[in-house]
Structure 1
């Protein structure tokens, strides 16, 4: 029976899964705690927000208000955008990590390392460049859609103890969603796999339309992720399954040539000329 041998293996797999989930949770909590290092820099963050807004105009990037204006025409689209921002980002990342851990461990390890490196780089930028999002920068004229229409994940910016809202550069929503999409594209097949890229595209539209990020926040996140993925080693290609073992080969026996036999006369003999004997005497 193989039950005693499979039970320890299953327990070891569960321990590894718990350890990986704990590691991801610790990284996320460390990121949340690190954002508090730039708390209390509201004035500098708003000034940097105005500089970013003017820099985007110099680069001829589209105004963020152009994206937000269609959402404000009706309450339903703006609520959908707020819900996508609040409820899709982290759960989608966790589900992708779990699926890759169970089905593609090498790709899981690469994605985990990419997310950790991107988060660490974001913390450095948050400390060095505190940045107010467009919804908290008066010059942009954008509406805080989360507070006005809901749902929102933020409280008042000056009293929010759970998250620092003056750390918009770079956008981890855009960076994480792009990393997840690229990992899923790499492990799936067919033309439809490119639809995974809809996730970062929708995320970029949502974070800008809700006033949570500038265009440049997403651009910087994409650039950082590209550098990180270029450094990380690629997972080895999965070798093809081995061919089934061939059975014992039998020697090829050549049949002997057939001897030419005597040809039988198949013709019907001609009727013999039978002469009638004269009747005998009794």
Structure 2
């Protein structure tokens, strides 16, 4: 504690050691009390954490504000109608090409037996066991039939719409991946027509067995779709894509866990309903990986083409 005399020189008053002093422009030290007649600190009021009110961080000139950044994200969303048109054209082309796949039943069945033989060698042949499990448990088979017929479209479209609306910055990349994956699948259908298990003796078509609706059953509605477009499994590829997209964006662990379960359920369903083999599912995962590589390469080529540095990035 120090003391200071007032103007008369008679009275001595204590001066707190905590009183701030500041240098004037001439270098002299002045009292920490402002000469404003109110005893307010010369450096002005302070915030709760002790900083002067004038010390708050100021935005750098020319730097984007939070509002501008949010606007940029919103601005990155592709236009809606071209996206809808793209999806419709893509799915139409997928359905058309899929149904143009060669339909040589003898060849497709021969390949099916070869595939089962390979799975037997690798101890992967679980299709028959799962199919019998479904057949003997209608409460499993009937929901599985509807799941197989609808989920791959509803869930995939739902994830695409969710990405478009809630995460527009991530949407173009994921949309390109699934489109490239689907094109890879079409090539696989054309090069490797394959009879599904339900067409082989010993397996049961659960749609016909339980009289439910299905898109790829072996009955009268079979003529509406090519029955030999089984390798790779697009049900598997699209379900993995959905899981990867959701897990890659969300932060909620429960949502991520549900997303991770979706391809697992799809795997069991496509086997139990006798629509695919284990290696079809492996092929679906491989198609997704190849689709991702193609999409990534396409984005890089596009970035190189638009680069202002003569086609060089970085």
Match in the other structure for 2:232: 170
Mean alpha-carbon deviation: is it higher for 196-205 or for 28-37? 28-37
3-state DSSP of counterpart to 1:127 = helix
- Structure 1 distance, partners of 2:134, 2:222, is 26
- Structure 2 distance, partners of 1:56, 1:157, is 27
- CA offsets, 1:21-76, max 9 Å, x none? 22112111111110122243111111111111111111111421111222222222
Higher relative contact order by CA 8 Å / sep ≥ 6: 1 or 2? 1
- Structure 2 distance, partners of 1:111, 1:59, is 33
Matched, 1:142 2:203: yes
- CA offsets, 1:58-116, max 9 Å, x none? 11114211112222222221101101101211011111101100111232212211111
- Structure 2 distance, partners of 1:14, 1:225, is 24
**Cα offset, 1:167, TM superposition:** 1.1
- Structure 2 distance, partners of 1:168, 1:58, is 21
- Structure 1 distance, partners of 2:207, 2:290, is 32
- Contact map agreement 1:173 1:203 (CA 8 A) in 2: yes
Alignment partner of 1:105 out of 154, 168, 173: 168
Match in the other structure for 1:239: none
3-state DSSP of counterpart to 2:100 = helix
3-state DSSP of counterpart to 1:78 = helix
Distance 1:64 1:162, change over 3 A: same
Match in the other structure for 1:57: 120
- Contact map agreement 1:35 1:164 (CA 8 A) in 2: yes
**Cα offset, 1:137, TM superposition:** 2.1
What stretches of structure 2 of length at least 5 have no aligned partner? 1-74, 300-314
Distance 1:159 1:80, change over 3 A: closer
3-state DSSP of counterpart to 1:106 = coil
Alignment partner of 2:193 out of 123, 126, 130: 130
Distance 1:99 1:180, change over 3 A: same
- Structure 1 distance, partners of 2:206, 2:171, is 35
Matched, 1:180 2:242: yes
Distance 1:74 1:157, change over 3 A: closer
Distance 1:79 1:27, change over 3 A: same
- Structure 2 distance, partners of 1:100, 1:24, is 14
Mean alpha-carbon deviation: is it higher for 14-23 or for 125-134? 14-23
Matched, 1:215 2:215: no
**Cα offset, 1:180, TM superposition:** 0.9
Figure out how many residues of one structure are paired with residues of the other and give that number.
222
Match in the other structure for 2:252: 190
- CA offsets, 1:115-172, max 9 Å, x none? 111111111111111101011122xx21100111122223546874431011100000
- Contact map agreement 1:157 1:165 (CA 8 A) in 2: no
TM superposition score normalised by structure 1:
0.73
- Contact map agreement 1:79 1:151 (CA 8 A) in 2: no
- Structure 2 distance, partners of 1:130, 1:39, is 7
